[in-house]
Structure 1
Amino acid sequence: MRKLHHKLVLFIILLSAIILNSIPVLAWTPDEELTASSAILMDTMRGQILFEKDADKVLSPSIMCKLMTALITMDKTQLNSKVTISKNAAGINGASLNLTVGNLYTVEDLLYGIMLSPGNDAAIALAEYVGDGDVNKFVGYMNETAKKLMLNDTYFVNPTGLYDEKQFTSVRDIAKLIKSAIANPVFNSVFSSRGIAWINGKDSSVLTNQNKLFWSYNGVDGGKIGTNPKLGVISVTTATRDGRRLVAVVFDKDEESTLSQTTQLFDYGFTNYYNGILVSKDTPLRTIAVQNVDVNLISKIDVYYTYPVGQSYIKDISFTKNEKLEFPIKTDTVAGVLKYILEDGTEIDVDLYSDKEIVPEQDYKTKIKTILDENRDLVLIVTILIVIEFILLFYNIIKLIIKMAKKMGHPSK
């Protein structure tokens, strides 16, 4: 009896384990444990937000100013251009690179100076160079770019990030900027740098990225950190695993806490979310009727999205047909759009195309017209030859009539 009881207990335990293992569970949610004042975790593929905490909270934009300064400089200059250091740049509060007044530095070196160190002096030097000596002109570029990128909680007053009550940003806007900026290969390369050899006149040293997660978290491939003893510490970090790149922006009271919570967010994102195919290319997704002819619609590419483990994450699907579609239907003409709305509100539009070129059946007259249209040169030549033949025939008939008339007018004796 006891053996039967033990077997029953064992069976129940095994059955429970199987059932529990079959239920998808998010291993850890940071909502209660994250102590950061403001934080966000974003998937860089589509900008899907995997976690946020007070992501729109107003922050001092010190680190945002440097990131934006770097991005604008890359868009408007050449990396090998030479920048002359002004007294204003060398003497700015928070100068960290010991730039020498009157010396020439490449744009590329100054960009690394901005990304790897506080670099207020490099920021002013580049702002003066790009703004033709006018820092305010450069700040105008910063605000124009923020508007284009829809950074609605960001406003700039200077390129250094030195405190000014009029300028502000948020961790959400910083993440949005990074998502856009890493599409620029030059920005991505500088942002991903762990360090470079820094040559300053006769002196040389190693300039190292201050974001320590480069050396402590597997997969980190981009980052910068900003520290203000009075306001706190903000870190911007990207990490890639299995082809997925996430960006985490965390603001907290000190460096240790900020970086620790950044790793927590990455662990959460990589463990509990996947990237998968939403739509497979060349797979019929819709069939529409065009003039009583069925047309199969496909996507020409694989479309990916990010979703929680064990969930489809699709909230709604709708389809809009191209009402102007008419024969002949080409395979490069958008025949309709399939819209997916995810649970987090992300909208993904998938352009659909006919899986083959479709030409309607033609009646007898249409076929003849088509043949004539497709062989216009040959038709023209044949027509000319026929006209010539008619002319020659007409000429010969006239000639014959004249000859006969002459015979009738002069009968034989």
Structure 2
Amino acid sequence: MRKVIGLIIVAIISLTKTVDHQATINDVSARSAILMDAGSGRVMFQKNIHERLLTASIAKIMTAITAIEHLDLEREITVTKDVLKAHGSSIYLEIGDRIKIIDLLYGLMLRSGNDAALMIALSYNVNESYFVRLMNEKAKQLKMTNSTFENPSGLDETTKNYSTAYDMAVLMRYALQNTTFRMIISTKHYVAKTASGKILDFYNKHRLVCEHPQVTGGKTGYTKLAGRTLVTSFQNKGMEVIVVTFDAGGDWNIHKSLANYAFENFKNELIISRRHFKLATCLYSFDFFLERDVYLPLKEGDEVYLGLYLKPESKKNKGLIGQLNVYLNNELILRVPVYQ
């Protein structure tokens, strides 16, 4: 049971008045769409964000981060006859090819290779379902409560992957914290080579990664059943945002429009720094500090409140002693560990 020691109230933060793009944002022609701040998780725009829909190939974001966390990326694997089961988008692997897992990951994310997805899964265990189990365990860990994965590719003729715009934004936000993942998805062109010297040339299918200076990464997706799905991350003015759309025509323009809305209507503000603080009460005083600086994207009229919650007997302990809760417009948005 936590003991409330104090409550710090921060006044309304007023920002310079910005141009209102809300009329344009309301016209988003996707079945489901979200705009999320990558730093804080703040949802800045939403449309049907908890509707469960087929993912198509954006499920490969989960495949990639699962592989990065569980496999030796420098390990060389031999392509087996199982590759013949893969169809659709391909990096044209052939039986007997020997290739590193890191190269498969580039083929997975840049060219959306379904053969690469299958070989990655089988490099963990000869039974594909064991790797898929890891994907679902990661979804559970990230509290992607409306997501289920049945294959590593996103194909949906027999097995199907379901998620939501919100869950996929949560996943992308998590994956962006991994430097290997970030390096892969931001790559425009990559050349892989098999052990026999065969060259595999990968150009990123995500048009905005190749053309838009603010884009830091993303993943495309399409099947007849799912329609077009798209994930994109943008960075500008010290803020990184994530856009996810499901079943959206004109999705390139939708993503650029939502990113522009974020950068023109929000400012990334330092709420509280990680420096040391002194807490004084009538009985005692002690120092504490945060694990990191706390930033929030704020628009005109937003209200931010901070609540400091400490464990009983915190004054006697070192290390983790509680948490700082950050409230935005009366809703809890962040929990930041507090240390002594």
Q: TM-score range by the shorter chain?
A: 0.7 to 0.9
Contact 2:215 2:234 in 1 (8 A): yes
Give the one of 248, 262, 271 matched to 2:264. Answer: 271
Question: Equivalents in 2 of 1:170, 1:275: separation in Å?
Answer: 26
Deviation >6 Å, runs of 4+: none
Q: Secondary structure at the match of 2:331?
A: coil
Corresponding residue of 2:331:
345
Structure 1 position 227, deviation (Å)? 2.0
Contact 2:188 2:203 in 1 (8 A): yes
Structure 1 position 60, deviation (Å)? 1.2
Percent same amino acid among aligned pairs?
25
Q: Secondary structure at the match of 2:147?
A: coil
The reply on whether 1:233 has 2:222 as its aligned counterpart is: no
Give the one of 30, 33, 43 matched to 1:36. Answer: 30
Structure number with higher relative contact order (C-alpha < 8 Å, ≥ 6 residues apart): 2
Question: Equivalents in 1 of 2:18, 2:155: separation in Å?
Answer: 44
Distance change (3 Å), C-alpha of 1:311 and 1:218: farther
Distance change (3 Å), C-alpha of 1:320 and 1:300: closer
Matches within 5 A, 1:34-113: 34-113=28-107
Question: Equivalents in 2 of 1:344, 1:223: separation in Å?
Answer: 32
Q: Secondary structure at the match of 2:153?
A: coil
Structure 1 position 347, deviation (Å)? 3.3
CA-atom RMSD, angstroms?
2.6
Question: Equivalents in 2 of 1:178, 1:76: separation in Å?
Answer: 18
Matches within 5 A, 1:11-410: 24-29=17-22, 30-131=24-125, 133-163=126-156, 164=158, 167-199=161-193, 203-204=198-199, 206-254=201-249, 257-282=250-275, 286-290=279-283, 293=284, 295=285, 299-300=289-290, 303-314=293-304, 316-325=305-314, 332=318, 337-343=323-329, 345-350=331-336
Corresponding residue of 1:402:
none
Q: Secondary structure at the match of 2:149?
A: coil
Distance change (3 Å), C-alpha of 1:268 and 1:170: same
Question: Equivalents in 1 of 2:311, 2:69: separation in Å?
Answer: 37
Distance change (3 Å), C-alpha of 1:264 and 1:271: same
Structure 1 position 348, deviation (Å)? 3.0
Q: Secondary structure at the match of 2:327?
A: strand
Q: Secondary structure at the match of 1:96?
A: coil
Structure 1 position 190, deviation (Å)? 1.0
Structure 1 position 213, deviation (Å)? 0.6
Q: Structure 1, residues 11-42: CA drift from partner, whole Å, max 9, x if none?
A: xxxxxxxxxxx972452124422111111111
Q: Structure 1, residues 174-222: CA drift from partner, whole Å, max 9, x if none?
A: 1111111121211111121112124465653531111111233221111
Question: Equivalents in 2 of 1:197, 1:70: separation in Å?
Answer: 18
Question: Equivalents in 1 of 2:140, 2:311: separation in Å?
Answer: 32
Give the TM-score normalised by structure 2: 0.85
Task: Say how many residue pairs are matched.
Answer: 323
Question: Equivalents in 1 of 2:240, 2:16: separation in Å?
Answer: 27
Structure 1 position 104, deviation (Å)? 0.8
Structure 1 position 48, deviation (Å)? 1.3
Q: Secondary structure at the match of 1:233?
A: strand
Question: Equivalents in 2 of 1:334, 1:103: separation in Å?
Answer: 50
Question: Equivalents in 1 of 2:114, 2:91: separation in Å?
Answer: 8
Return the letter of the residue paired with 1:307. Answer: P
Structure 1 position 167, deviation (Å)? 3.3
Q: Secondary structure at the match of 1:88?
A: helix
Return the letter of the residue paired with 2:307. Answer: S
Question: Equivalents in 2 of 1:136, 1:174: separation in Å?
Answer: 21
Q: Secondary structure at the match of 2:54?
A: coil
Question: Equivalents in 2 of 1:343, 1:63: separation in Å?
Answer: 36
Corresponding residue of 2:6:
none
Question: Equivalents in 2 of 1:31, 1:197: separation in Å?
Answer: 39
Question: Equivalents in 2 of 1:95, 1:89: separation in Å?
Answer: 12
Q: Secondary structure at the match of 2:151?
A: coil
Structure 1 position 339, deviation (Å)? 2.5
Q: Gaps (5+ residues) in structure 1?
A: 1-21, 355-413
Structure 1 position 150, deviation (Å)? 0.9
Moved more, 302-311 or 154-163: 302-311
Question: Equivalents in 2 of 1:228, 1:93: separation in Å?
Answer: 12
Structure 1 position 238, deviation (Å)? 0.9
Q: Gaps (5+ residues) in structure 2?
A: 1-14
